[in-house]
Amino acid sequence: MSETPSQFPSLSLNKGPTDFPFRTAAPSWVWPGTVGENCRRLGEVFDEVGIVLFESAACMAYGEADLPSTLSELSLRYHLHMPLDLPWSDGILGVQHIIETLIDKTAFLDPWGYVVHAPPHAKQLDELAFCFIHKGIKPDRVLLENTREFNPLDFWCDIRYLGLNLCLDLGHVLLYGQEQLLELPRLWSRVKLVHLCAPGPDGRHLPLTELDAEGRRLVRLILARMSPDTVVMPEIFDPEGLADSMAELHAILTGRAG
């Protein structure tokens, strides 16, 4: 795990043949180390980082060493991925406390969006939207991710009524048979972030080089239909896989991948 971004300079988004016609991002966990350390290294190649706050207790305890104030001085744009362990079964108050604490802790990064693994109940979607409204964040900055428990297809009217948006996860589409979601009328204007990976066993996120022909077809479909301002993030958590995925994404985009 000693590789650094400078060892794959062909991933530069601003020059060379691997430019992309959309904004790309990387997750804040690629090398062992703090969020701050990862962001500084990723900033050599990427212009956006998705801050992954997967564990509630650990992330609520983050201090200056984990999220240094100097992150706001980097030439990076940020979005957040809220915890995977939000206690929805305990009611909204516990969820609200976690969300509001993390919003306050990361406010200095001025994140443009907040990814949430949403609860599978319409009433809780309403409560989730209120958590963010209560902190002065408009619902269109809340990005509901499609998961095994939450298929946006089943909550489309509620999502539109509440003004929420989506994070479309390709790996989950493939793993949970959610291909019909991609044909939903008026879907693409609400997709603000795309997560790309090949689904692996036990929930592992494999590089895009592991996609089969159907997976590559869906990547091409997503890239063709998404809005120009949609952010694309290979959700890969190791440097080799991330580098391979960026190269494969470019190959798919330019028709050089099968």
Beta-strand relationship, 205-206 and 191-196: unpaired
> Residues 157-186: what's their mean pLDDT?
97
pLDDT of residue 115: 98
pLDDT of residue 186: 95
pLDDT of residue 15: 31
Where is pLDDT greater, at 14 or 86?
A: 86
pLDDT at residue 66 tops 50: yes
pLDDT of residue 13: 35
What are the residues whose beta carbons fall under 8 Å from the beta carbon of 31, sequence distance 6 or more? 1, 3, 37, 38, 41, 239
Q: What kind of architecture, by CATH, is found in domain 5-253? A: Alpha-Beta Barrel (3.20)
Give the separation between CA 203 and CA 133, rounded to whole angstroms.
Answer: 32
At residue 19 the predicted structure's pLDDT band, cuts being 50, 70 and 90, is confident
What are the residues whose beta carbons fall under 8 Å from the beta carbon of 23, sequence distance 6 or more? 47, 48, 77, 229, 230, 231, 232
pLDDT at residue 255 tops 90: no
Give the separation between CA 88 and CA 244, rounded to whole angstroms.
Answer: 36
Q: What is the pLDDT of residues 136-153, one digit of tens each?
A: 999 999 999 999 999 999
Q: What is the dihedral of CA 10, 199, 78, 45, to 10 degrees?
A: -10
pLDDT at residue 169 tops 80: yes
Q: What is the pLDDT of residues 202-237, one digit of tens each?
A: 889 999 999 999 999 999 999 999 999 999 999 999
The burial class, CB within 10 Å (0-12 / 13-18 / 19+), for 211 is buried
Give the separation between CA 101 and CA 80, rounded to whole angstroms.
Answer: 13
β-pair partners for 50: 27, 79
Alpha-helical regions (H) of the chain: 35-42, 56-60, 92-105, 122-134, 156-162, 170-175, 213-225, 239-253
Q: What is the pTM of this model?
A: 0.92
pLDDT at residue 164 tops 90: yes
pLDDT of residue 3: 35
How confident is the prediction for the chain on average, in pLDDT?
Answer: 92
At residue 17 the predicted structure's pLDDT band, cuts being 50, 70 and 90, is very low
> Residues 80-106: what's their mean pLDDT?
96
The angle subtended at Cα 250 by Cα 232 and Cα 247, nearest 5°, is 100
The burial class, CB within 10 Å (0-12 / 13-18 / 19+), for 203 is exposed
pLDDT at residue 47 tops 60: yes
At residue 8 the predicted structure's pLDDT band, cuts being 50, 70 and 90, is very low
